[in-house]
Amino acid sequence: MESGLRSRRPQAAAGRTARISQAIAGRDLTALKQLARTGGGLETTRQRRRAWPLLLNFRALTDSGDRTRAHGEEAQLALDVPRARLPDSPELRRGDADAQARREQQLTRVVRAVLRAYPWLSYYQGFHELALVLLCVFGSARPAAEGLRMVALFFVRDAMASSLDHVMQQLRLLFVLLGRCAPRVHARLAALDVPPFFAISWVLTWFAHDVHAFADVCRIFDFLIATPPLQVVYVAAALVCHFEADILALEPDFAAVHSALAQLPARVVDWTPVLEHAWRLSEDCSPAKLQHLGACHLPRLSAVNTFDATWMRLDPARPLRFNALVPVCDRHPLADTAEASPAADSHMARVIDLTSTAQKARALAAHYRWPLVVATVASATVLVYAWLLMLQLQLTS
């Protein structure tokens, strides 16, 4: 019987590899996202080099910016790059001092390309660690820079405002999730006044700062690239839940609990159950519902709240400018002194509301088992109206 199980495992792995290849070849994003979310993810660096560009909508934006004008925070980048360490993997050769210098130059070039193209983005310490993972997977600066651009604009944009205040808002939502999935841990943290700072590097670097094995980092990136931007907070909640018993067994001391929480990512042996739990949490409690439950509403132009309305419009066959998706006038969309016109903000707000309405219509249809055609027509009508508003926004921007 054991030999039979052993023989079936390689067959299952081969079948999964074939499904990934088929999804890439057929540009089947639905299947590719499902494969990236589940099991062992996209499995190999070679598969990721082919799949991540599809998942991240490479070449869907036309922005280039002034690549010759230095960004104001490149001095900090120059300090951070030499401190970046390669993840642990036999795939990644550290090489001699010359190889290290070349890698640092590539990493600087990747981050600098994004910052100079979008000077209203603020660099934060840890952004270069996201870039390093992309550079290690793609092996060259150009695709890594394209991947980093999409991650910066659509996933971690809130962290690239002038302060990390909006990231702290997202971490408040982590505590709301813990109140639902691990109420005893939530009560312990509240009693000890432990703030959510222990998870800030998890959110800012997609765990790249805290997880040492390259295979595990890539597995997490597979999941986060294939899901909406707040999903990293759900992963953080699932991670805490994974070690609930260990946390409750700790001495009720602020320093001990905070230190133990910060070290949780390095203790994970298998990320699959953590990621699967994170997906269930997001299915059970959407970002919109989570914000409502926690009375913690992220700004309307947050990457979290605009993702559905903007990501669905990306099409590499019809590239457009980022400003056509989110109103930006040389200022971050979340800047207090943003100069986006009131009309543009109003249009964008209506698009977001309509997209949310379309999603609710489909959810209600599924719940009450309406005929599929009714559900499709109802949601499609709302989405067409949202598309027309987005078109109007593009023409007036």
pLDDT per position as a tens digit, 13-55: 678 899 999 999 999 999 999 999 999 999 999 999 999 999 9
Q: What is the arithmetic mean of pLDDT over 165-186? A: 95
For residue 4, is pLDDT > 90? no
Beta bridge partners of 212: none
Confidence of residue 321 (pLDDT cuts 50, 70, 90): very high
For residue 337, is pLDDT > 80? no
pLDDT of the residue at 369: 57
- Indicate the average pLDDT of the chain: 85
Q: What is the arithmetic mean of pLDDT over 51-79? A: 91
* 50-59, 252-261, 339-348: least confidently modelled range: 339-348
* 138-142, 179-183, 366-370: least confidently modelled range: 366-370
The type of residue at 38 is T
Q: What is the arithmetic mean of pLDDT over 139-150? A: 96
Q: What is the C-alpha to C-alpha distance for residues 371 and 378, in angstroms, rounded to an integer?
A: 11
Q: What is the arithmetic mean of pLDDT over 379-392? A: 55
pLDDT of the residue at 128: 96
The C-alpha torsion from 199 through 201 and 204 to 207, rounded to 10°, is -90
Confidence of residue 220 (pLDDT cuts 50, 70, 90): very high
Q: Tell me how far the alpha carbon of residue 24 is from its chain's centroid.
A: 21
Share of the chain above pLDDT 90, in %: 68
pLDDT of the residue at 8: 54
Select the more confidently predicted residue: 381 or 367.
Answer: 381
Confidence of residue 10 (pLDDT cuts 50, 70, 90): low
pLDDT of the residue at 14: 77
The type of residue at 137 is V
Q: What is the arithmetic mean of pLDDT over 230-242? A: 98
* 9-23, 139-153, 360-374: least confidently modelled range: 360-374
Confidence of residue 394 (pLDDT cuts 50, 70, 90): very low
pLDDT of the residue at 327: 82
Exposed/middle/buried for 269, CB within 10 Å: 0-12, 13-18, 19+? Answer: exposed
SS3 per residue for the chain: CHHHHHHHHHHHHHHHHHHHHHHHHCCCHHHHHHHHHCCCCCCCHHHHHHHHHHHCCCCCECCCCCCCCCCCCHHHHHHHHHHCCCCECCCCCCCCHHHHHHHHHHHHHHHHHHHHHCCCCCCCCCHHHHHHHHHHHHCCHHHHHHHHHHHHHHCCHHHHCCCCHHHHHHHHHHHHHHHHHCHHHHHHHHHCCCCHHHHHHHHHHCCCCCCCEHHHHHHHHHHHHCCCCCHHHHHHHHHHHHCHHHHHCCCCCHHHHHHHHHCHHHHCCCCHHHHHHHHHHHHHCCHHHHHHHCCCCCCCCCHHHHHHHHHCCCCCCCCECHHHCCCCCCCCCCCCCCCCCHHHHHHHHHHHHHHHHHHHHHHHHHHHCCCHHHHHHHHHHHHHHHHHHHHHHHHHC
* 277-291, 302-316, 352-366: least confidently modelled range: 352-366
The token duo for 394 is 């593009």
The token duo for 129 is 């660690």
Contacts of 116 (CB under 8 A, 6+ apart): 65, 66, 67, 68, 69, 70, 71
pLDDT of the residue at 345: 44
Q: What is the C-alpha to C-alpha distance for residues 233 and 238, in angstroms, rounded to an integer?
A: 9
